[in-house]
Structure 1
Amino acid sequence: MKTIKNISTAAILFSTLLLGITITNPTNTAQADNATTETNDRVVSNTIVYEEGNSVVNTSRVTGTVGYQQAVVAPAGYKLADPTNNFVTLLDGVNPRIYVKVTKLAMSDPVTTTINYIDSATNQPVGKQTLTGYEDQSFALNAPNLYKLDNSNDTTYTLIKNVYSRKVYVSPEKLAAGEITNTVRYRIKGTGIYVGQQTLVSGKPGSQQAYEAPAGYRLAFNQSSVYFISSDRAHSIHIADVQKDESAGQTKVNFVELGTGVVIGNTMINGDFGQTLPISFPNGYEPINSADQNLVLRPYETQKDILVKKSNKDTNNDNGTVQKNNLLVKSLTDAPLYDVNGKKISNRSLGLNSEWASDRYMVLNGTTYYHVSTNEWAKASDMLIYYGFNSTVTTKDGVNVPLFSANGTQSNRNLSPNTKWATDKYATINGVKMFRVSTNEWVRGTDLK
């Protein structure tokens, strides 16, 4: 599933690419790939204490299960003492403390530099990134969404005193065959006030995307949760109504590479406090901790660092055959969910008539499953497969045309002959190609001109 990214990247928190740790408890020094630390389901809070020599320079509070391997990032103005280890293992006990050794960066007054991203073809600005830290501190540069850096030497930038701005040239990313770009904006319902930043998204005309409300907001009642990429310029800007919600929250997840400490990407998780939400990982990476497949949204946790490693596997299942696809699916029932091994997930399901984008399908022991979230699959028998199709259809002359539900049951409603109807999807239902003309009403292709 694609993630919508802001064109203007928010100011980056203090960080460094030179990371590592020294931990006073020797049981925590093993690399995560070889760790044999006993784990259990007991959730604990640990305090990580960052020390330079015998002086405490910062502390952070982290929550997880006993044995969880927590990524660590040095405080502003410091780097971790050992660049090969960049995690700690959470301990059981009463208010356990884990000590991490750090060393100072070359200190000076705080330095702020604005990176201005310039389209090299048009010489026009397309975004900016503000870096704040200390001289000699390095940051990863993030090109605006749908752009790439022209010069590979610009992947990192080191702060220099008295350099307040710099131009970095970028080029548009080459879109996949048939893809186009659309714009998304979020508006407070009943007002002309827009919140969040305008974003660009890409996809093929008719493909489905999901709205992602800004932090502290939720999609307004009756606001659709999805939209379709449009090639029509008049419909290429999508406006979603949102409303303020104190129970809604947002956590920024940083993916920290094991052994290097490099933050190789991030994502924003939005939802309600207390919800357990799936995490989408960068391509080619997987979490060190199996518990990191999902995130519990907490009011005090606005940012979380997660330890990841490179992976060549598309899935950890050796029994099923996984193939990539790009489908839209709709649940025909309160559909149970399964893991990649076909085991039913007891506390999760898809609501009736809910719509999902699926990027993969799997055939396991003769049963077909569609991938609908990070580690969750739905049986094909519980889903309707359909395709985006923004167009108009016209019923045949002479007789009223019957309507059908998504499961193929004929309705008591009909369409008048020779009338035009807007449609946004088509699907094969009970072996017949049908077009959707209302929320849960479909017309057979054989009844159209």
Structure 2
Amino acid sequence: MKKSTSLLLSGILVSGMVLGTIVTPVTVNAATQATTQADQTVTNYVTFLDADGNTVSPAKAYQGTKGQKITVAPDGFTSSDSSKATFGNDGDSKSVTVTKMISVKVNYVDQNGKLVNSETVNGGNGNDYKLTNLPAGCTWNNDAEQTINLVEGKEYNVPVTKKVSNTVIFKTADETEVGRTEIFGDKAGIKVSLTDAQLPEGYTTSSKDLTLQNEGNTQFVTVTKSAADGIIPIKGIVKVTVPLAHLYDKDGKVLSRSLTKDSRWQTNNKMILNGITYYQVSTTEWLKLSDILVEGSTTTNDKDNNSSSADTTAQKSDVRAVTTKNAGYAQIYDDNGKAIVNLKLGPNTPWATDLMKTQNGVKMYRVATNQWIKVSEII
């Protein structure tokens, strides 16, 4: 720290004489300037040596950050765990200890002495290697056994604890096998849940929960093939067969409304959700197949061979779909213009149509075989 000292004189001029006093010296400290040195890139000349000090590769120029460990190595070698060399000042010469890259076989053996799995790992001869590819359904006995010291020509048997495992075979209703997986747990009798990734692609099941059985047992799970996005467009009628049929939303959650027995409803979509089949009866409402009777349905891609026989005055529709009004239910009429008892369409629901006609002065659109809706009921 730089110091500067000055003597300050003060005085009074009296009869040609200066009477003065010496004021206590004042010390001024120069401000200390803090300097931050950025990471410095340097070039060092590195010679690679083996564990016995023999030269593996002559000196070559390498760049790095001053103070950073030197990890580069010639082809077929890697930095030895024992090497502590770091990049020094620009132009320094450094010696780095390297070791030969090797491959060794690792066997994972369970608590009963049975081979669970094997793998080949690569690393530097004499270096430590941390194992990360633990076989499915196994745990390490302790953390220390995850690390092995690699020695050329050595084969390793690593102890692991294998959990109880069951094989799960997925079958469709007709007993066709469509996939397999394994489930694991600490002991038989505990609950294990299948993950979505374990289910065969394009299939679903009514329940993913299983009870783990004794080691080596096989379990069978029935799955159902899902349609694209789970919904199949159809045209048809469903009839309620139970005293009160609960309505459900598209996620399978029960709603507050119900439909009465023997009532009939137009449907335009079928959905398979978690293995349960539903039929849509309004924009947001669905009935379970177990609560209804499907009196007739066809996919929207099917051709109606009787499309022109029911009414000779009908002609091709001027629209591809109609949507019911958002107020009340829309009455359905037969080919003769007679209202069909207990058959109505839900409010604000879209329906495919292929024919239109004018009957008794009223324009109507066909939404299914022998089923028509008045133009006054649509938007």
Indicate the TM-score class for this superposition, using the shorter chain for normalisation: 0.3 to 0.5
With the length of structure 2 as denominator, give the TM-score of the two structures: 0.32
With the length of structure 1 as denominator, give the TM-score of the two structures: 0.28
CA radius of gyration, larger in: 2
